[in-house]
């Protein structure tokens, strides 16, 4: 039986044009946007039980362009004038025995679709976000335990343990050789059990898909809220 554990995270960027009439003091005069680039759990889940640290490599025009973030929130906030590819190197907890994995994110400062002119005029927030499924193929046992219990060994049973974190870990199983249809006393591994397991996995996938949908809806609400706030600010200033 091959096991994959697939924790789900979200990475991306959020950028906001700087209001030329309300520039923060001391800001580089060339900078036009404030932005953050991040990796986080779906629905605000703390993913530090499997993700140890993230190295963000910014464009070389930035001072100390390589930023190591060792605890959540795994994000870098900066200001600047240009878009570029951010390299994100994800380091997993030591129990994982896994090598770091590299992702790339195109920092997006400008609107590219919809009412482009309107978005520019309103200085809309630009969000560019992706769901990431990191596939751990046959994770070592300690890491398997961490991923399925949702907590590192040291923190298990400690305060704040929720035990519901595996909701964002997908599991997959696959047969490696022909196995008997029904279980026998000496062999519990069978197609019947496997079928049941696959049904459970399908159910889990559905749950994950529903969560993703919910997350998208929330993002939309957040954007609307920001828009409202922006309107209020404009009214207050005008
Ligand atoms: C471009 N190829 O030309 C890209 C590079 C670089 C963005 C964008 C630097 C901030 C600073 C900054 O915004 N770099 O340190 O002044 O669009």
Taking only the tens of pLDDT, the chain with its 238 residues reads 668 888 889 999 999 999 999 998 999 999 999 999 999 998 788 999 999 999 999 999 999 999 999 999 999 999 999 999 999 999 999 999 999 999 999 999 999 999 999 999 999 999 999 989 898 988 999 998 888 887 665 665 544 444 444 446 777 664 343 445 566 555 555 666 677 777 878 888 888 888 888 888 888 888 888 888 888 887 776 5
Q: Give the pLDDT of residue 108.
A: 97
Q: In whole angstroms, what is the distance from residue 13 CA to residue 109 CA?
A: 9
Q: How far is the CA of 78 from the centre of ligand 1 (A)?
A: 11
* Atom 2 of ligand 1, nearest CA residue: 84
Q: Give the pLDDT of residue 79.
A: 97
The CA dihedral of 16, 20, 26, 28, to the nearest 10 degrees, is 70
Q: Ligand 1 in contact with 131 (CB < 6 A)?
A: no
Q: Give the pLDDT of residue 51.
A: 96
Q: Give the pLDDT of residue 186.
A: 53
Q: Ligand 1 in contact with 84 (CB < 6 A)?
A: yes
> What atom in ligand 1 is closest to the CA of residue 62?
15
Which residues, 6+ apart, have CB-to-CB distance to 143 below 8 Å?
5, 50, 92, 93, 95, 96, 97, 98, 136
Q: How far is the CA of 29 from the centre of ligand 1 (A)?
A: 13
Q: Give the pLDDT of residue 166.
A: 46
Q: Is the peptide bond before 36 cis (omega within 30 degrees of 0)?
A: no
- pTM of the prediction? 0.70
Q: Ligand 1 in contact with 28 (CB < 6 A)?
A: yes
> What atom in ligand 1 is closest to the CA of residue 28?
16
Closest CA to 57 of 79, 84, 92, 31: 84
* Atom 7 of ligand 1, nearest CA residue: 82
Count Cβ neighbours within 10 Å for each residue of 35-73 and write b for 16 or more, e otherwise: bebbbbbbeebebbbbbbbbbbbbeeeeeeeebebeebe
Q: Sign (positive/negative) of CA torsion 220, 221, 224, 226?
A: negative
């Amino acid at each position: 039986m091959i096991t994959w554990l697939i924790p789900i995270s979200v990475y991306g960027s959020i950028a906001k044009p700087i209001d030329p009439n309300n520039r923060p003091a001391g800001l580089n005069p060339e900078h036009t946007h404030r932005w953050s680039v991040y990796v986080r759990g779906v629905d605000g889940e703390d993913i530090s039980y499997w993700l140890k640290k993230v190295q963000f490599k910014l464009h070389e025009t930035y001072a100390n362009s390589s930023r190591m973030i060792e605890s959540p929130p795994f994000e870098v906030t900066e200001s600047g004038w240009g878009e570029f590819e951010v390299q994100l190197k994800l380091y997993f907890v030591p129990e994982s025995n896994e090598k770091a994995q590299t992702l790339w994110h195109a920092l997006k400062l400008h609107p590219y679709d919809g009412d482009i002119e309107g978005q520019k005029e309103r200085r809309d927030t630009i969000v560019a976000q992706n769901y990431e499924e990191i596939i751990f193929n046959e994770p070592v046992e300690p890491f398997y335990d961490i991923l399925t219990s949702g907590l590192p060994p040291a923190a298990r049973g400690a305060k704040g343990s929720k035990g519901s974190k595996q909701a964002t870990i997908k599991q997959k199983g696959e047969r490696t050789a022909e196995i008997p249809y029904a279980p026998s006393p000496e062999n519990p591994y069978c197609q019947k059990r496997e079928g049941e397991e696959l049904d459970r996995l399908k159910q889990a996938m559905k749950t994950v898909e529903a969560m993703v949908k919910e997350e998208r809806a929330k993002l939309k609400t957040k954007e609307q809220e920001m828009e409202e706030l922006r309107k209020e600010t404009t009214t207050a200033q005008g």
